[in-house]
Structure 1
Amino acid sequence: MTKDTSEWYASWFDTPYYHILYADRDHAEAHQFMDNLTQYLNLPEHGKILDLACGKGRHSIYLNSLGYDVTGVDLSENSIAYAKTYENETLHFDVHDMCEPYKDKFDAVFNLFTSFGYFDESEDNLNTIKAIKEDLNEFGFGVIDFMNADFVIENLVPEDVKIIGGIEFHQKRYVENGHIIKDISFTDQGKDYNFQERVRAKTLTDFEALFEQAGVYLLDVFGDYKLGKFHKSTSERLIMIFK
């Protein structure tokens, strides 16, 4: 199954501007998170990890450097084409729709950096959980690293401007019909662009219901990349471990 390119994520994630806007992501923090997570899960040496919605592969590449056999998949053909330049015998990338099970079994499936809740069809969220379950081997763990929607909504910045590489990115944020929405507009080389990010404001309770429907079991919940305790009102992240 291939997503309709009219879906916001299919078009926005496949542009170079998405990567320009988010070029300042904290790689040290991401590496620390992967260190903490893999140690907590006690994954086997050279264990197999599926990085679901991997983008350009920043987590996959680092996980591979730790000695894991990593497959990164994403819907964006441009991102996967870039990531493939880093491939080796134990690091592979593939264009794949995360609503569908992949063709292999893994010791862990990671869905990181709020790469969930994009779909307009609510059953696609459930299908993704079911696909993760299908992708896990007998001893495998699923991990979803999502935003803490309660915290994000409470601390939402309605509007700001980021200037990167001479481009002024105008960002407007609001909540509408159960979604946290960001409108992004900018001009480059005389041409106007408008994109939107739209993510369902799913809470821990929402995920618990999805997990029950999918037949998976929630084992632990963390609220930050240091794997601190989750607090509904103050935690920035909602990190769920399940199998």
Structure 2
Amino acid sequence: MTKDTKKWFTSWFDTPFYHTLYKDRDDTEAHAFMDTLTDYLNIPEGGTILDLACGKGRHALYLNKIGYHVTGVDLSENSIDYAKQFENHSLHFDVHNMCNPYHKKFDAVFNLFTSFGYFEKDEDNLSTIKAIKEDLNEFGFGVIDFMNSEFVIDNLVPEEIKTVDGIEFHLKRYVENGYIVKDINFTVDGILYNFQERVRAFTLADFEALFEKAGVFLLDVFGDYKLRKFNTKTSDRLVMIFK
């Protein structure tokens, strides 16, 4: 039996296997990035942050722990159901489509860990930038933490087998029609699962064009989680701060 699903960001993210494959993500690095970023932006103690496409809430939880009022939103109902167990008076989670504005204003909107560029329609990417703008208060900052597409393409590993919790994930990576694509195949309990991740290979120039159309101003560009200078060929991240 084979399970094959193509609208990947509404299905793959909702499976437990997604979280199994990526369970080795470095929380120490993520926490240090949040410390560095909030300090750089000088977000006031008790300030409000929207974690856009928050997944199970790992960034939102830490941001709340260090003193911020945080709302985490995601399209994945399963992820939000999981995250809700951690809610408190200053931490809330909600199912929400990031193409649309949320119903509150924030000191900062964070879109982290390449949680952008999934959409098939170009207008949805622009709508997301416009929504972030709408979600910011007068003094708020938007942050998109994206991959450096040029670096990723130059260093692409075409095929890999990764075994996590006894599941053998077969991964194939390639570039197709302006997207960086990852095919993910694995078998659990005799069922063969096929998933695919597709993310637009946006460059800094592409984002600059989107920002101009959305009427937002790019303030800073960094190339890693320590907020060092961005270099097209050597930086692994593309961290953009705008308002």
- What's the TM-score, normalizing by structure 1? 0.98
| Counterpart amino acid of residue 33 in structure 1 | F
> 1:127 maps to which residue?
127
Residues 212-238 of structure 1 show CA distances to partners (whole Å, capped at 9, x for unaligned) of 000000000000000010000000000
> 1:59 maps to which residue?
59
| Counterpart amino acid of residue 13 in structure 2 | F
C-alpha separation between the residues in 2 aligned to 1:112 and 1:147? Answer: 10
Q: Which runs of 5+ in 1 are unaligned?
A: none
> 1:91 maps to which residue?
91
> 1:238 maps to which residue?
238
Distance apart, 1:88 and its partner CA: 0.2
Native 8 Å contact 2:6 2:195 kept in 1: no
| Counterpart amino acid of residue 236 in structure 2 | E
> 2:140 maps to which residue?
140
Distance apart, 1:132 and its partner CA: 0.1
> 1:228 maps to which residue?
228
Distance apart, 1:44 and its partner CA: 1.1
How many residues matched?
239
Distance apart, 1:7 and its partner CA: 2.0
Residues 146-181 of structure 1 show CA distances to partners (whole Å, capped at 9, x for unaligned) of 000000000000000000111100000000000000
C-alpha separation between the residues in 2 aligned to 1:146 and 1:120? Answer: 17
Which ranges of 4 or more aligned residues in structure 1 deviate by more than 4 Å?
Answer: none
C-alpha separation between the residues in 2 aligned to 1:67 and 1:36? Answer: 14
Native 8 Å contact 2:54 2:73 kept in 1: yes
Q: How does 1:1-243 map to 2 (within 5 A)?
A: 7-243=7-243
Residues 72-130 of structure 1 show CA distances to partners (whole Å, capped at 9, x for unaligned) of 00000000000000000000000000000000000000000000000000000000000
- What's the TM-score, normalizing by structure 2? 0.98
C-alpha separation between the residues in 2 aligned to 1:191 and 1:8? Answer: 18
Distance apart, 1:6 and its partner CA: 5.7
Residues 182-228 of structure 1 show CA distances to partners (whole Å, capped at 9, x for unaligned) of 00000001110000000000000000000000000000000000001
Distance apart, 1:31 and its partner CA: 0.2
Q: Percent identity?
A: 75
Distance apart, 1:8 and its partner CA: 1.1
C-alpha separation between the residues in 2 aligned to 1:183 and 1:236? Answer: 21
Distance apart, 1:45 and its partner CA: 1.1
Native 8 Å contact 2:49 2:71 kept in 1: yes
Shift of the 30–37 alpha-carbon distance from structure 1 to 2, 3 Å rule, reads same
